[in-house]
Amino acid sequence: MKFRTTHKRKAPAVIIVSLIDVLMVVLIFLVITTTFKDRLPVNNVPTVRNPDGSLAVLGDHLLVTIRDKAPYLRLNNKLVTIHQLSDKFKEHQLQDTNTTIVIRANKLAPYGQVVSVRDEARSAGIKKIYEVRQLPADR
């Protein structure tokens, strides 16, 4: 039985060792230069389920409701514009530095309005900004 071959093998066209080195350098470069996004914290607003299945938010807060049709914004169930909302946020932040904003938007509400409300709250210095989402019926 002859297990060994007597002829010489050819050198491979691609040298695997140097290829692995190059790939590791590229991988390290990508990891170092990638900017990582800050993930938004999961905000758990204290809620209870009403008998009709809707959610009620507990605690003292400013409730901003964003609807799908104009006028879009309501602050504690009163119609407001984005400028009035900004003034109210600043007013409440001066009175209480621990002001909490709860944003409730339905599925069809313009996303730009949600972003505008968040921006106005942040520019007023409010740090506690929560969003209420409709939970599925089975939860």
Q: Delimit the domains of the chain by residue range.
A: 47-132
Give the tokens for residue 85: 């909302």
pLDDT at 132 > cutoff 60: yes
pLDDT band at 45 (very low <50, low <70, confident <90, very high): low
- Once rounded to an integer, what is the mean pLDDT over residues 90-118? 87
State the alpha helices, DSSP H only, in 2-79: 16-33
- In whole numbers, what is the pLDDT of the chain averaged over residues? 78
Cα–Cα distances (Å) from 78 to 5, 66, 74, 103, 115, in that order, read 89, 11, 5, 14, 20
pLDDT at 133: 66
- Once rounded to an integer, what is the mean pLDDT over residues 26-45? 70
Pick the CATH number of 47-132 from 3.60.10.10, 3.30.9.40, 3.30.420.270, 3.40.50.1820: 3.30.420.270
pLDDT band at 131 (very low <50, low <70, confident <90, very high): confident
